[in-house]
Amino acid sequence: MKFWQKTAIISLLCVFITPVHAEYAMSLGQKPQYPADFKAFGYVNPNAPKGGSINLPMYGSFDTLNPFTLKGDKESGIAALTLDTLMVQGQDEPFAMYGLLANDIALAADARSVVFTLNPQARFHNGDAVLAKDVVSSFNTLTTDPAASPMYRFYWADVAQVVAVDDHTVRFDFKRQNAELHLILGSLPVFSHKSYPQGLAASANTPPIGSGPYRFLRTNGNRMSEFRRDSGYWAKNLPTRRGMYNFDTVRFKYYQDETAKVEGMKAAQYDVLQENIARLWARAYNNPDLQKKGLRRQEFTQHNTAGMQGFVLNTRRAPLNDLRVRQALTLSFDFETVNRQLFYGSYHRSNSYFTNSEMAAAGVPESDELVVLNPLRTRLPNSVFTQAAVEPPQTDSKLGIRPNLLKARHLLEEAGFRYQNGRLTDRQGKPLVLEFLSYSKIYERVTAKWQRDLAKIGIQLNVRVVDAAVYQRRMNQFDYDLTVVVYANSESPGNEQWDYHGCEAAKTPGSKNWAGLCDAAVNELLKHFIHFDNRRQLVAAARALDRVLRDRYLVIPNWYSQNHRLVYWDKFGKPQRVPKYFQASDWVLSTWWTA
């Protein structure tokens, strides 16, 4: 995953640190699993051979090599392959960070600052040493440059300043205590201060000067990007890099539709792909001739928290700003039939912003959760306190979706709509027409039944499929009624919650507050993710937030899988075991090798 996305499986526990001296690693809630003298992570082959190449499919296209700007469709490999971070996260543990560019980390006794000591061997691809001034420049560019994506500013909002103490020592001062800030600063991507001397806007298509395991080599228009392994990579023998990034050449090949992806895989234009479409997984690759040639399918169990995937409703627009309309739309979606007929019953229903986690609210609030919620009683609906946490509606196995549609029509009537001549109209006689925005045709099959069911209660749902560039631009501008999003939450909810649900993010173009939520009570709940003393308090805060968000009906929950599904040609070596927490494509790219 990218540095600003905490892996969906992080677990944030009470802080385990020795604040009086620097540490080679830090973890939240427990000692780091690997000792100070560890040689390599346990989920890699430290003796993996180097060489060969790998071709990976990527959906859409790109029009910029600058991974940090708000504008433009980003190339996929620049940030992941050419940039090192201060520290890296161990994937066998909930949340432990080990040194990369930084040799060590020291949190102040009052938790109001953190110091990183840089490795004197670290070098950029231009030969320059990685110095504290580069760290300062990187942080300031990402958080203050007007052209930068706003997610960086939200993510590190509690940093007051960053100071180069000397050439190899950098200190971050905090505005206030923040339970996770010292560790998430470890994920800061560091690029040379020479990268953007005139600012990001003046270098809209310029890749940064990085120090990572690969160098950017070339592109072929917006259809392919290629990277070459840096044989002199400064960190290749560090324990956090040994046995990793083994391919000499990495190519990302972009495709425009799912048919092209499948045919490209069959024709060996791609080497590995993660198949997220159940229909294609079940039917597209089951060809005996291809299997004889070495095409393989394999599922890998993952323990990542699923977060929330769903159809987000943009409450900035009427009538989606009416709770009753949102409830009606939620009732109208027939997941059970879609899962059975289109997905071969392979998915589970998402039911929470922390699906498949102890963070998910359940039943009525009790004990610790009430401690969080009680101060907001006058600002929250009584249902939050007296009723069980909202669960997605289910389709009746005998009667189908009809009972839910009748409930939906009643809610719409309460909201002032009238059913006349087969159409639902408001008090001014305007029909209720909504647009579902998508970047892929794959959702046309999913929404087809939903369109028919909505038509039964008079709602017209139009599906608009646009190319990736137009889609991203409209998302940045919040120009949609509803679309598919993923709240990539983890067991370590923290600063990213402000970007998802905070009032400032709701009015900031390019933020991840897709629903347009701005609620004073929610903003108060978000403060609990900055200050807490132990895991128990954090779990209570997450359940309280989850309960309140679900009561708002901002998202129509979709589905999730408990396995990663990979299709690949049998020419690679793999480590003996997978890490406990991982993302499939990143795992392949960082730990596989050419056999």
Domain ranges of the chain: 15-247+562-594, 308-560
For every one of its 595 residues, what pLDDT tens digit does the chain have, with 9 covering 90 and above? 333 334 333 333 334 434 457 999 998 767 899 999 999 999 999 999 999 999 999 998 899 999 999 988 899 999 999 999 999 999 998 889 999 999 999 999 999 999 999 999 999 999 999 999 999 999 999 999 999 999 999 999 999 999 999 999 999 999 998 888 999 999 999 999 999 999 999 998 999 999 999 999 999 988 999 999 999 999 999 999 999 999 999 999 999 888 999 999 999 999 999 998 888 998 999 899 999 999 999 999 888 888 999 999 999 999 999 999 999 999 999 999 999 999 989 899 999 999 988 899 999 999 999 999 999 999 999 999 999 999 999 999 899 999 999 999 999 999 999 998 889 999 999 999 999 999 888 889 889 999 999 999 999 999 999 988 899 999 999 999 999 999 988 767 888 899 999 999 999 999 999 999 999 999 999 999 887 777 789 899 999 999 999 999 999 999 998 889 999 999 999 999 999 888 899 999 999 999 9
Helix (H, G, I), strand (E, B) or coil at 220: strand
Helix (H, G, I), strand (E, B) or coil at 158: coil
Q: What is the CATH number of domain 15-247+562-594?
A: 3.40.190.10
Burial of 337 (0-12, 13-18, 19+ CB in 10 A): middle
Q: Which residue has the tokens 């895989």?
A: 265
E strands, 124-248, are: 159-166, 169-174, 214-220, 224-229
Helix ranges, 150-277 (H): 150-155, 181-184, 258-266
Helix ranges, 392-526 (H): 402-414, 442-456, 468-476, 496-501, 503-506, 520-526
> Has domain 308-560 been given CATH number 3.40.50.720?
no
The token pair at 576 is 């003996």
Rounded Cα–Cα distance for residues 452 and 308 (Å): 25
Rounded Cα–Cα distance for residues 381 and 548 (Å): 9
